[in-house]
Amino acid sequence: MTTIHSGLKRGVSALGKPRRVTYVVLTIFVLGSLFPFYWSFLVASRDSGMLTERVPPFLPGGNFFANAARVFDTVPFWKALANSLIVSGTVTLTTVLFSALAGFAFAKLRFRGRNGLFVFIVITLAVPTQLGIIPLFMAMSEFGWAGGLQSVIVPNLVTAFGVFWMRQYTLDAVPYELIEAARVDGCSMIRIFWNVCLPAVRPAAAILAMFTFMTSWNDFLWPLVVLDAGNPTVQLALEKLQSGYYVDYSLVLAGTTLATIPILIVFLLLGRQIVAGIMQGAVKG
Amino acid sequence: MRSIRNGLVLALGITMTAFGLAACGGDDGGTPAASDPNAKVELSLATFTEFGYEELIPEYERLHPNIKITHRKTGQGGPYHQDLITKLAAGSGLADVSAVEEGHLSNVLDKGSKFNDLTKIGPAEASPDRWLGWKYDAAKTKDGKVIGYGTDIGPLAMCYRKDMLEAAGMPSDPEAVKPLFATWDSYFAAGEQYVAKTGGKAWFDSAAQNFNAMVNQLPTGYIGGDDKLAVESNQGIKDAWTKVTGAVAKGQSAKLTAFSNEWNSGFKQGAFATKVCPAWMLGVIEEHSGPENAGKWAVTAAFPGGGGNWGGSYLTVPTQSKHPKEAAELAAWLTAPEQQIKAFKAKGTFPSQVKALEDPALLSETDAYFGGAKIGQLFAEQAKKVAKPQYKGPGDGQIQENASSPALQAVEQGKSADEGWTQLLDAAKKITR
Amino acid sequence: MTVVDKIVPDEEKAGARTPPRPTLRHRLSRWDVKVSPYLYIAPFFVVFGIVGLFPLLYTAYVSLFSWEAGDDDPSFIGLDNFKELFADTQFWNALENTVSIFLLSSVPQLIIAVLLAALLSARIRGATGWRVGVLLPYAASLVALGIIFANLFGPKYGLVNGLLQTIGLDPVDWQAGRFSSHVAIAIMVNWRWTGYNALIVLAAMQAIPKELHEAALIDGAGTARRFFSVTLPLLKPTLIFVTITSTIGGLQIFTEPKLFDAMPGSNNGGSSNQFQTVTLYLYQTAFENYELGYASAIAWVLFVIIVLIALVNFFLTGRLTAVKKK
């Protein structure tokens, strides 16, 4: 008995504690991931000339703040940041909420047409979107939304990707027993969703939030077409930095570095949410 | 307690949505075409890269207090023209005054019915003799509509590295090199000399740069007057192809694609000795070559085949505009010689207007980086050397971008000249089918 | 399988002798059960109806016409666009490129993503930092990416060629060759998307109850055995998700090949279209050649191809992660 127990303890810690090689591999990955950011900062802190050097320098120069200041002088960066935050923030909130809702329905509730409707949603992912901007622009003009932020928000309120993802995750993450228990307790559907399902799918929701925020933040072509001149998002403002036949990359990359900071903040905030499911252990005999 | 938190989240979501909706610029358009000349009119102007209009817009608004202008700038021409095509297709959203670049002009001319005839709605002073003949005529549709007022041009000269020519024992003074650059044959012959004397260094940066200039000088281009593909029957194009690919085979090309990363680096690395040089290229050369190469680059008022043009834009007034007359007036004002000179001083856009080319401010302009050359005068001279404009049928710009330039790139990457020619033909046929 | 709609109100279950006349509360409850699913999926369909359906139908409609942007009177040509497409060598070239790049990128990417997720699911210190670090590439600006990879893979001055030369190998003209360009683009794609997929798999891994791992340990299973017999099968819904979305994303690949071209902004996919993918070709047809009808046809044919390949991958994944019978 004791041997099994101590073996189990050892086994579990062997399960949990990572070996050194794990850290090594992860470090290599993260270094590879970080490199472009460091490199962007490098160029932003020097001047564009370094891009054409045979052997590029490795240490940052002192120009970053000067270049950053130029960014703010050249384009309405604060306004663009604010617009992007509104757009991406709203889209993220609604996408996560509605995707979790639909995911819950598709994963755990039975209703007529469930499978067919779900397959339909997944199939819509396969449609190439490049041409869509023409009819979408026509639609936005019809509604009188062209030019304003709602034209960028409404088309992205909920995505097929989000619904698909939340449904897959909800399938295994929310045990029927819990739902049944709540049902027996007399909870309405919406309370079951809010109190049982949502907490269980928190990690997936966090990841979906990160992805949605980032995709929305980096969106360029549609905002270019539909937004007014005075109402840019961050990517539009950044593009304006690339003006002319000669592009000053130290300015552009200073801009992109600045534009990445909000994403990093969102990442760090949401990254913590990707923890082991808190519903484990909730279903015990 | 939890419900309060949840409620807050919901409230936040709703607030943000509401904020977003309220922050709408709300495109409700300007006032309908008013008979009252003092009625408020809102005009939109869309440009790309740098036209130099930043100071001019407020000036115009001061002169016309009833007009409010929104200037929409896009950094690069690529996204700008994609946006243009989208809105052309969607039927709405184009700015009252929309800039169009020379390379896209042929497509716009093809859709001439979507643009106003500026001779009909424009002011009288925007007459044909305001501009260089070839610039003005290029914006005429087949039925004689003028759909664009010329803004700037890119007259061609030849830029070269003085020090590199000197080192090869060749003449390097701007006057002395003129004979080298008199014709394409003399240009490529000089290239052969250069390669021999330097043991294999490249004479020019990219085959496509030369080829495009050569084709533009021909009486007929890729598309004939009947709007059909003329490449196969056009001996001029075939000759140009043979000459350029011959030069590539002899090692004269640095095999760099214009505006690519390596081309940017190529300036600093001294990868080539000469370069086809429109007026706007000077700034590019300076920035990429860096201060350490100051004074090494020179420019001369000669260009093989006489003269040529690369680049430049027009201001058009799409039929989508609700205020065509006011828009045409704005476009005419912006492209008047006085304003173009101001734009030139601001952003270096080289004027296409005859009076502007005689302006002392322009003629006295020098460039320290190019050894103090009098570039204003130089390019004004070159501008006058351009013959009548070549007819650019629909698809012309695409053929240059997507058929001939890639085909030349392929040859530089190792394809045989004949294979490259076949590739060019196939691609051109596809574009014009 | 759902228990929810089978729940019977207590009173009836207890065999009460009250007549089975449903109270308001019961009626509301049953109505809640019946209607809620439709309400919950409604937001998606409402938004889709407004902004997704119209473009879809419009594109399908336009594909039957010969329509150039700005044309006032497009002519109806029925299926001619499609007929032309099937004879179009550039289209088949683009399709080959697309599939090639897809295979070169997705296969290693998914394997690495799963392994990466396994590493991240261990109890490592500073977990959040590692997870964020792994996702960062997706946040990199496209401008920076374009320059960096151009600098890496430049034929004359690129770092990779520099390295190759120091070890005594010949430099490769990455953009010029067909296979070499596919490899370089696959590297770009994997660099950008591996972390993304790893996080998705990680989330699912974390949802696997610890008890199952413990049980396997007690049974004497080693790490590998546990991985294949416990983890993988339980990851099935997620792996299906990752496979399908990677397939769709991979076959629609657009940004990376476009950035890789030496000619900035070009949609050519190389001097001889050696790395032009179908979406690039679509984009070029629409926004450079102004041919919207033909481009719409390309879009729909690509759609059908993607659905078919995604179906194949769906079945493959199902097979690979099938629960092994004891």
Give A222-250 pLDDT, tens digit per residue. Answer: 999 999 888 899 999 999 898 888 888 89
CB A126 to CB C306 under 8 A? yes
Average model confidence (pLDDT) across chain B: 89
Identify from A12, A108, A130 which residue to disrupt to test chain C contact, counting C C-beta atoms within 10 A and taking the largest count: A130
- How far off is chain A from B149, nearest CA to CA, in Å? 21
Say which of A33, A165, A184 has its CB closest to residue C137: A33
Residue A220 inside a domain? The answer is yes
Residues C69, A135: contact at Cβ < 8 Å?
Answer: no
Looking at chain C, how many residues does it have? 326
The reported pLDDT for the residue numbered A95 is 96
Q: What is the DSSP string of A153-184?
A: HGGGSS-HHHHHHHHHHHHHHS-HHHHHHHHH
Residues within 8 A of B (CB atoms), A 41-60 only: 48-49, 51-54
| Distance in angstroms (rounded) separating the CA atoms of residues B203 and A131 | 43
Which H or E element spans position B41? strand B41-48
The reported pLDDT for the residue numbered B412 is 95
Cα dihedral sign for C282, C286, C290, C291? positive
Q: Which residues contact A121 (CB under 8 A, 6 or more apart)?
A: A160, A163, A164, C44
Counts for chain B of helices (H) and strands (E), in that order: 20, 8
CB C176 to CB B413 under 8 A? yes
CB A15 to CB C130 under 8 A? no
Is the pLDDT score of B26 beyond 50? no
Q: Which residues contact C192 (CB under 8 A, 6 or more apart)?
A: C137, C138, C140, C145, C256
Residues within 8 A of A (CB atoms), C 79-108 only: none
CATH code, domain carrying A192 = 1.10.3720.10
Give yes or no for A90 touching B (CB within 8 A): yes
Q: What percent of chain B has pLDDT over 70?
A: 91
CB C150 to CB B86 under 8 A? no
Q: How confident is the model at residue A283 (pLDDT cuts 50, 70, 90)?
A: very low
| Distance in angstroms (rounded) separating the CA atoms of residues C155 and C98 | 23
Domain ranges, residue A209? 76-271
Residue A39 inside a domain? The answer is no
Angstrom distances, CA of residue B70 to CA of A228, B91, B119, C140 = 9, 20, 24, 32
Residues of B in contact with A46 (CB under 8 A): none
Q: How confident is the model at residue A79 (pLDDT cuts 50, 70, 90)?
A: very high
Higher pLDDT, A210 or B32: A210
Is the pLDDT score of C124 beyond 90? no
Q: What is the DSSP string of C249-296?
A: HHHT--HHHHHH-SSTT--S-STTSTT--HHHHHHHHHHTS-BHHHHH
Average model confidence (pLDDT) across chain C: 87
Give the pTM. Answer: 0.88
3-state SS of B113-157 is HHECCHHHHCCCCCCHHHECHHHHHHCECCCCCECEEEEEEEEEE
Radius of gyration of chain C (CA): 26
Residues of C in contact with B85 (CB under 8 A): 69, 286-287, 290
| Distance in angstroms (rounded) separating the CA atoms of residues A220 and A41 | 22
The reported pLDDT for the residue numbered B432 is 86
The reported pLDDT for the residue numbered A12 is 39
Closest CA relative to residue B283, chosen from B353, B342, B343, B350: B350
The reported pLDDT for the residue numbered C213 is 82
Read off the amino acid at residue B4: I
Q: Which residues contact B399 (CB under 8 A, 6 or more apart)?
A: B222, B223, B231, B427, B428, B431, B432
Q: What percent of chain C has pLDDT over 90?
A: 51
| Distance in angstroms (rounded) separating the CA atoms of residues C133 and B83 | 35
Angstrom distances, CA of residue B110 to CA of B11, B106, C7, C225, C282 = 52, 6, 69, 67, 21
Cβ neighbours of A14 (radius 10 Å): 12
3-state SS of A86-136 is HHHHHHHHHHHHHHHHHHHHHHHCCCCCHHHHHHHHHHHCCCCCHHHHHHH
Residues A258, A75: contact at Cβ < 8 Å?
Answer: no
Is the pLDDT score of B49 beyond 60? yes
Per DSSP, the three-state class of B315 is strand
- How far off is chain C from A230, nearest CA to CA, in Å? 23
CB C288 to CB B114 under 8 A? no
The reported pLDDT for the residue numbered B378 is 95
| Distance in angstroms (rounded) separating the CA atoms of residues B155 and B278 | 5
Residues B430, B394: contact at Cβ < 8 Å?
Answer: no
Residues of A in contact with B72 (CB under 8 A): 228-229
Q: What are phi and psi of B41, to 5 degrees?
A: -125, 135
Residues of A in contact with B17 (CB under 8 A): 90, 94, 153
| Distance in angstroms (rounded) separating the CA atoms of residues C188 and B115 | 42
Angle between helices A20-44 and C142-153 (to 10 degrees): 100
CB A207 to CB C200 under 8 A? yes
Which H or E element spans position B11? helix B2-22
Q: Locate B271 and state its tokens.
A: 């990868």
The reported pLDDT for the residue numbered A282 is 46
Q: pLDDT digits over C1-57, tens only?
A: 444 444 445 444 555 555 667 688 888 888 888 888 999 999 999 999 888 899 989
Residues A228, B24: contact at Cβ < 8 Å?
Answer: no
Give the total number of structural domains in chain A: 1
Q: Locate C156 and state its tokens.
A: 């004359």
- How far off is chain C from B390, nearest CA to CA, in Å? 21
Chain-centroid distance of CA A17 in Å reads 29
Q: Is A233 left (phi over 0), alpha (psi -120 to 50) or beta?
A: beta
Residues B346, B52: contact at Cβ < 8 Å?
Answer: yes
Higher pLDDT, C156 or A52: C156
CB A144 to CB B26 under 8 A? yes
The reported pLDDT for the residue numbered C76 is 93
Q: How confident is the model at residue C270 (pLDDT cuts 50, 70, 90)?
A: very high
- How far off is chain B from C141, nearest CA to CA, in Å? 16
Closest CA relative to residue B356, chosen from B340, B369, B370: B340
Strands B148-161 and B297-300: antiparallel
Query: Within 13 Å, how many C-alpha atoms sit on residue C29's CB side?
Result: 18
| Structural domains of chain C, ranges and CATH numbers in brackets | 4-62 (no CATH), 81-320 (1.10.3720.10)
| Structural domains of chain B, ranges and CATH numbers in brackets | 41-154+311-363 (3.40.190.10), 155-310+364-431 (3.40.190.10)
CB C271 to CB B114 under 8 A? no
Q: pLDDT digits over B361-382, tens only?
A: 999 999 999 999 999 999 999 9
Could you tell me which chains touch chain B, where touching means 3 or more CB pairs under 8 A? A, C
| Distance in angstroms (rounded) separating the CA atoms of residues A269 and A271 | 6
| Distance in angstroms (rounded) separating the CA atoms of residues C49 and B165 | 67
Q: Locate A237 and state its tokens.
A: 């403002």
Say which of A134, A138, A146 has its CB closest to residue B27: A146
Checking C305-310 for CB contacts under 8 A at 24+ apart, the result is: C305/C95, C305/C251, C306/A126, C306/C247, C306/C248, C306/C251, C306/C252, C307/A123, C307/A126, C309/C247, C309/C251, C310/A126, C310/C244, C310/C247, C310/C248
Is the pLDDT score of A6 beyond 50? no
Counts for chain C of helices (H) and strands (E), in that order: 16, 2
Give yes or no for C119 touching A (CB within 8 A): yes
Residue A283 inside a domain? The answer is no
Residues of A in contact with B44 (CB under 8 A): 229
Q: Which residues contact C13 (CB under 8 A, 6 or more apart)?
A: none
Residues B222, B231: contact at Cβ < 8 Å?
Answer: yes
Which has the minimum average pLDDT: A45-49, A263-267, B426-430?
Answer: A45-49
Hunting for tokens 């109100």 — which residue is that? C9
CB A149 to CB B17 under 8 A? no
Is the pLDDT score of B59 beyond 70? yes
Task: Note the maximum CA span of chain A.
Answer: 77
| Distance in angstroms (rounded) separating the CA atoms of residues A75 and A255 | 10
CB A259 to CB C248 under 8 A? no
Give yes or no for C288 touching B (CB within 8 A): yes
Q: What are phi and psi of B223, to 5 degrees?
A: -115, 130
Residue A50 inside a domain? The answer is no
CB A52 to CB B44 under 8 A? no
Could you tell me which chains touch chain A, where touching means 3 or more CB pairs under 8 A? B, C
